[in-house]
Chain A
Amino acid sequence: MSEFINENPNVVEDNELPRRKEDEAYQSLLGNAANGEALRRRKLLLKINHSAQSQALKNVELLDRLLLTSVPPELIPDNNEDTSEDDSFDEPADPIDSQEIYDLIAHISDPEHPLSLGQLSVVNLQDIEVHDSGEKDKMAEVIVRITPTITHCSLATLIGLGIRVRLDRALPERFRITILLKTGSHQSENQVNKQLNDKERVAAACENEQLLGVVSKMLSTCK
């Protein structure tokens, strides 16, 4: 019995975790090179037929393609790369927001339950703060507050380490990552907080092959 200290936590179903409203089909649409009017039209189509494979969508795409092919030579974008500067800024930018951070860490599996941190409500969307101006040369910050399932959870540091490794690998260097235990959620809150945000200690932990193996296993369920 002592193996699992907290045997029956409240579990949120995987499909009930908070997620972005636009879904896969919409995202894949953005992946295809299309812009302006054509894209708007396709979005409209998705509203009535929810699949990136629908006949009508294919038809519209085909038309756009053909219209593009038959553009006479003088209108073909020429080949010199000097203008690439303005071009890259044409794209609309999706900001890095708390939902994105949540998606990164919510699927990490708990070291002692076969469940994810999101399902166990160890990480919660409202406990993630992102401060980012969106400019690529400015510093940005992410603060994640985690809630251990019980106040004496001995694995809080391991969970924290998993989240830190995940975010270190998944966020650009300009982000400063702070991982804290939610106030009052753990007996040795300060100690754990110190440990989690101490660069040297995290680096040391990552040198340990066995520990890294455990972390990898936790991260293996990430989507």
Chain B
Amino acid sequence: MDGLIVSEDLGTAIISFIANVDINDKKADQIASNLSESVIRKRIKLLELVVALKEHLLADEASQRRKALYCLSSVLTKLPEDQLLKNEVSVIFSFYLSKLEDTELSKEAYSGLSSLAKMKYISLDNTKDLVKHLSQNYKPSSFLAPVRFFALQCMSNIYVRNESKLISDLAFADGYVKCFLHVANGEKDPRNLLISFKLNRRISSTLKNISKFKEELFDVLFCYFPITFKPPKNDPYKISNSDLKLELRLAISATPEFAEDAFGNLIDKLTASSFNVKNDTLLTLKACIDNFGGESLLKNWLPLWNALKFEIIHNNEGGETTISNAESGSPDVNNYQAALDVIKSCALQLSVFDVGAFDNFFSHVFEELKPNFVYDKDLRQSCSILAAIGSANTVTFDKVIENTLPLFLKSSSKTAKLKLVMMNLSFFLDSYIVVFNDDNTLHAQARSTNKLAGFQDEILMILGKALTGTSKVETTVRTLSVIQFTKLVKMRDYLNRDEMALIIQYLTETILTDTNKNIYYACLEGLKTIGDLQEDLLYEMSLKKLLQLLPSDSKDKMFLREDEPIEKENILKVILDFTNSKHRLVKESIIGLSAKLKIVASHKGTSDYCFLLASSLYTLLANNATLIRDTDASAIKEATEAPLLDMMTNTTAVTMEDHILTLLSNVLFFIELKTPLDTHQQQLVRFTELFDKDLQIFEKPNRGVLPFVKILGALNKECDFKESTSFFEKTVRLLKKNSLSMSELERLGYLELLMVLVNKWLKESTVEEFSNWNDTSAVNLEVLTWIGKGLIMKNSPMGVKFQRGLIKELGREDVGVFAAKLFEVFVIDITPMNRYKGISWNCNTKLLYKQKFFSEMFPQLVDLYKNSADLSTKSNYLTGLSLILKQIPKTIIEPYMGNLLPLLLQALELPTADVKVSALSTLKDTAEKFHQLVTEHVQTLYTTLLKLITPGKHNNVQVRLLALELLLILSSVVPLNYSLPYKIDIIRALEPVLDDNRRIVRKQCVITRQAFFELGQVPFEQ
């Protein structure tokens, strides 16, 4: 059904409408829509509707008449503007005018008239009649807000329909404006005010006759200033305080005609004590200045300046200048800044209007502030003001700079004085950034001739002096200097390359020699800023130098200057920090550090130093893995791969040490990961050749397996790897044959190799063939575990078989303990098997494999635990479970918590520190989330925990610390009536722990003990 109504149904529709008004307004509105739609589709005529309504319109009951007219008005509102023809409009218009006499119908009548007023074919005479009626017969004060709303709506619609006429016909316009002033007078309703303000703005800014009415138009606005409005709850119109404020501000600043009244009145309002009123005033002043232009300022800037000066200098002395306006959700209100913005607008408008006028303004301001520089009084405020004027445009900038800077820019030997100079200078550097840091081509010219350029040498000299000439204790001065240097760098086209280089040099030297944290970070920030703009220069001037400064032997001491020794750790730290996320710098550091490593590794006794270099290389690659571009990757590979491989296969070098070798192998992993995918097959052949044929890592144990396994980990899993089966076989054999002679690291390497091969290349049938479930030797168990890991990570169905097989081993008395330890391996994260953003080829690790693994293992382990009678096998199950828990994200465990908690409590009694740590950290998360659950077990928990806080073989620092932390959590989550009985016991039991050997334990004990002292105490008022 389309809902359209034909003539025959008209009567029914009207009755239905009238019945629904005030009862089901939604339904009534729907009927009105149907009616208007029918009129538009010409199924009925509007006149027919009027006739059909006639009976109701003439009814005795006022409410009946009202509802009938409401029906007609509702339909009118929904009609398009060009729907009614001239004569139709005219007839309906007269009809409505006549209805105005019926006071009960005012609202509906004005509503209808306002709809008519915007009709395209309404005659000018009708419009004038309406204006005349509103001017003479309408009394705003005698109607309620909804009626006034429609009267204002009439005015607004008349304006919209007749704007061009109003502009050209002055007499008509006069009548209209007078009428508007009459209608808008005394309005209080926020919704109506919004219309009134909007209309006022349009009238004032467009009509030609407003000079005559400027005072009245202004008064009808300013009587509301400063407007405040708190929307009631469930406000249907959703009008906010800031809507009104903004609309009023726009209206007040609509025309320069208001200037005379506006400035005077607003300046008066500045004396207000309310923070928000002042803010509103300042923002309105700024809007006025921006819109009125320079001419209107000529007469007004002096009083304005005086008021603002008072505001800035006296009302903001050290006090709170910002309050956060949480209530309305608007950003922080800052009157100090708002006042400065007004001054800036002032300067801008004056200078645009007439440079001479600006000069007058500026000299006045300047002369008033000048003495402050002599007496060091209100310097912050004075500089802010001058800098605000300077940040208006290039003209004002030059004017301010050439006058102001000579006042204070003097070098001094007193640090206090230097500090002041830099603080003052800071404001003007900001002005430069505001004025010149844009892409405006006009500014390029002005930049080259700007007045600040003349002071460049002096500024650099003073900053340099503050940084290098002061003692290290003067951290504020030095930090300030670094910050100003950074600002100079940010200033577009201000410095040339040489000067930038000088600054880089300053910052680099400072960051290396200064131990203060603030200065370190300020320098870092500065270097990073330069890096954003001039990466090449930063490389040339800073990174290169840093790399050179790294000694080639750990015994060498490096000096920046004669007496300033520099620690290599410091240099590495700086390199790591400031190269982060800059392509070129990352690339160059990796290449540089690798080269350095090669030299250092050739010396004896440099193991620690090599370790640091290797860690740095690793960190650079790991942190920037996704950022390094293909071209960089190729360059890195070319420069570093060969020497790194050389170092890692040369058996006598320091780099063969466990940690260093692992780190470097991981470095290789990242390098290979980033090589172009189409070369992977080729790489695979090459590396197989190297490790298999040349190094013969499958003949006897060789540390070369470590780099090999990481490289394999990085290469594409789609590569054709025909040796994979034979390598797998050889590895298994090698592991079994040499299980005793092999070093730990080698064994780990070979085991990892099994995992990678199984995960990426091997067929499951091959795996099955080589896994021997009858051999329970330690080494075979390890082999099975790592193969299992490779399978489990790719969610292979065969993985389940391995899980079951190993669980079975837990029940054996001879190998159970060892097997339990191996359970952690299943879920531990290992570099080549991790997933990296944007890289899909390196491994078959499924996202949710841990979840799947845990949900399968947990019920089995719990069952076995419950059904086992033997204590030592029980403990094996628990150990296995706890070790898995350690590596599993806590969210996965949560659903199992109810069953898990009792087991964890038992695990706390097991004689292995690792298991305890794991159980405790799981319990900590549990306690924070499941209050009810831990409350049920609170007695066991308290007694068990108190056993763990004293030092012992299996209560290492971490166990003690975690136990204390858990106690603290319990004190706050367990209900008081459960905890209180234990209070005294716990406080007593904690007393000896206050004398623990480790400070970190004592500290936690103090905190935990205090919490129990306060348990149940009368709370103090906050």
Could you tell me which residues of chain B, from 983 to 1022, have a CB within 8 Å of some CB in chain A?
Answer: 991-992, 994-995, 997-1000, 1002-1003, 1006, 1009-1010, 1013-1014, 1017-1021
Tell me if B951 and A59 are in contact (CB < 8 A): no
B1014: contacting residue among A30, A174, A216, CB under 8 A: A216
The answer to whether A139 has its CB under 8 Å from any CB of chain B is no
CB distance from A73 to the nearest CB of B (A): 4
A47 to B569, CA, bound (A): 6
B1006: contacting residue among A62, A92, A169, CB under 8 A: A169
Using CB atoms, name the residue of chain A closest to B910. Answer: A79
Tell me if A63 and B662 are in contact (CB < 8 A): yes
Tell me if A93 and B997 are in contact (CB < 8 A): yes
A219 to B1007, CA, bound (A): 11
Q: Contacts A48-B573, A136-B995; is A67 near B951 (CB within 8 Å)? A: no
Tell me if B1018 and A213 are in contact (CB < 8 A): yes
B-facing mask of A76-94, CB < 8 A → 1, else 0? 1001010110011001111
Contact residues in A for B1014 (Cβ distance below 8 Å):
216
Tell me if B994 and A48 are in contact (CB < 8 A): no
The answer to whether A25 has its CB under 8 Å from any CB of chain B is no
CB distance from A172 to the nearest CB of B (A): 4
Tell me if A91 and B1020 are in contact (CB < 8 A): no
Q: Contacts A56-B618, A169-B1006; is A83 near B569 (CB within 8 Å)? A: no
Binds A, one of B74-82, B224-232, B371-379, B741-749: B741-749
B576: contacting residue among A48, A65, A88, CB under 8 A: A48
The answer to whether B751 has its CB under 8 Å from any CB of chain A is yes
The answer to whether A202 has its CB under 8 Å from any CB of chain B is no
A103 to B1018, CA, bound (A): 26
Using CB atoms, name the residue of chain B closest to A170. Answer: B1006
A55 to B612, CA, bound (A): 13
CB distance from B871 to the nearest CB of A (A): 11
Contact residues in A for B782 (Cβ distance below 8 Å):
70
Q: Contacts A56-B663, A172-B991; is A31 near B961 (CB within 8 Å)? A: yes
Tell me if A67 and B958 are in contact (CB < 8 A): no
The answer to whether B628 has its CB under 8 Å from any CB of chain A is no
Tell me if B911 and A81 are in contact (CB < 8 A): yes
Contact residues in A for B1018 (Cβ distance below 8 Å):
209, 212-213
CB distance from A38 to the nearest CB of B (A): 8
Q: How many A-B residue pairs have CB under 8 A?
A: 162
Contact residues in A for B573 (Cβ distance below 8 Å):
47-50
Tell me if B957 and A31 are in contact (CB < 8 A): yes
CB distance from A125 to the nearest CB of B (A): 16
B953: contacting residue among A56, A84, A104, CB under 8 A: A84
The answer to whether A171 has its CB under 8 Å from any CB of chain B is yes
CB distance from A106 to the nearest CB of B (A): 13
A84 to B911, CA, bound (A): 11
Q: Contacts A73-B815, A84-B952, A170-B1009; is A48 near B995 (CB within 8 Å)? A: no
Contact residues in B for A136 (Cβ distance below 8 Å):
995
A219 to B1013, CA, bound (A): 11
The answer to whether A72 has its CB under 8 Å from any CB of chain B is yes
Could you tell me which residues of chain A, from 71 to 126, have a CB within 8 Å of some CB in chain B?
Answer: 71-73, 76, 79, 81, 83-84, 87-88, 91-94, 96, 100, 103-104
Contact residues in B for A100 (Cβ distance below 8 Å):
999, 1002
A137 to B158, CA, bound (A): 98
Contact residues in A for B997 (Cβ distance below 8 Å):
91-94
Could you tell me which residues of chain A, from 150 to 181, have a CB within 8 Å of some CB in chain B?
Answer: 169-174
Could you tell me which residues of chain B, from 358 to 409, have a CB within 8 Å of some CB in chain A?
Answer: none
A170: contacting residue among B659, B952, B994, CB under 8 A: B994
CB distance from A88 to the nearest CB of B (A): 4
The answer to whether A217 has its CB under 8 Å from any CB of chain B is yes
Tell me if A213 and B1017 are in contact (CB < 8 A): yes
A69: contacting residue among B825, B917, B1003, CB under 8 A: B825
The prevalent SS among residues of B at the interface is helix
B615: contacting residue among A45, A69, A88, A169, CB under 8 A: A45
CB distance from A182 to the nearest CB of B (A): 25
Contact residues in A for B869 (Cβ distance below 8 Å):
none
The answer to whether A204 has its CB under 8 Å from any CB of chain B is no
Q: Contacts A33-B956, A48-B572; is A169 near B1009 (CB within 8 Å)? A: yes
B747: contacting residue among A70, A88, A104, CB under 8 A: A70
Tell me if B1006 and A33 are in contact (CB < 8 A): no
Tell me if A33 and B991 are in contact (CB < 8 A): no
B618: contacting residue among A47, A55, A94, A212, CB under 8 A: A55
The answer to whether A11 has its CB under 8 Å from any CB of chain B is no
Q: Contacts A84-B953, A171-B994; is A213 near B659 (CB within 8 Å)? A: no
Contact residues in A for B659 (Cβ distance below 8 Å):
41, 60, 63
CB distance from B905 to the nearest CB of A (A): 19
A76 to B824, CA, bound (A): 15
CB distance from A87 to the nearest CB of B (A): 4
Using CB atoms, name the residue of chain A closest to B913. Answer: A33
Tell me if B994 and A87 are in contact (CB < 8 A): no
A104 to B999, CA, bound (A): 12
A187 to B659, CA, bound (A): 64
11 examples of A-B residue contacts, CB within 8 angstroms = A31-B1000, A33-B956, A56-B622, A60-B659, A76-B817, A76-B818, A92-B997, A94-B998, A212-B1017, A212-B1018, A216-B1020
- Please give the residue numbers on chain B whose beta carbons come within 8 Å of chain A beta carbons, in ascending order: 567, 569-570, 572-573, 576, 608, 611-612, 615-616, 618-619, 622-623, 658-659, 662-663, 666, 739, 744-745, 747-748, 751, 778-779, 782, 815, 817-818, 821-822, 824-825, 828-831, 911, 913, 917, 951-954, 956-958, 961, 991-992, 994-995, 997-1000, 1002-1003, 1006, 1009-1010, 1013-1014, 1017-1021
Beyond the given A47-B612, A48-B615, A213-B1020, please list 19 additional residue pairs across the A-B interface where CB-CB is below 8 A: A27-B999, A41-B611, A55-B618, A56-B619, A56-B622, A59-B618, A59-B831, A60-B662, A63-B659, A65-B824, A65-B828, A67-B658, A67-B744, A73-B778, A84-B952, A91-B998, A94-B999, A169-B1010, A212-B1017
- Please give the residue numbers on chain A whose beta carbons come within 8 Å of chain B beta carbons, in ascending order: 27-28, 30-33, 41, 44-45, 47-50, 54-56, 59-60, 62-63, 65-67, 69-73, 76, 79, 81, 83-84, 87-88, 91-94, 96, 100, 103-104, 136, 169-174, 209, 212-214, 216-217, 219-220, 222
Closest 5 pairs (CB-CB, A-B): A84-B953, A172-B995, A94-B999, A47-B569, A93-B997
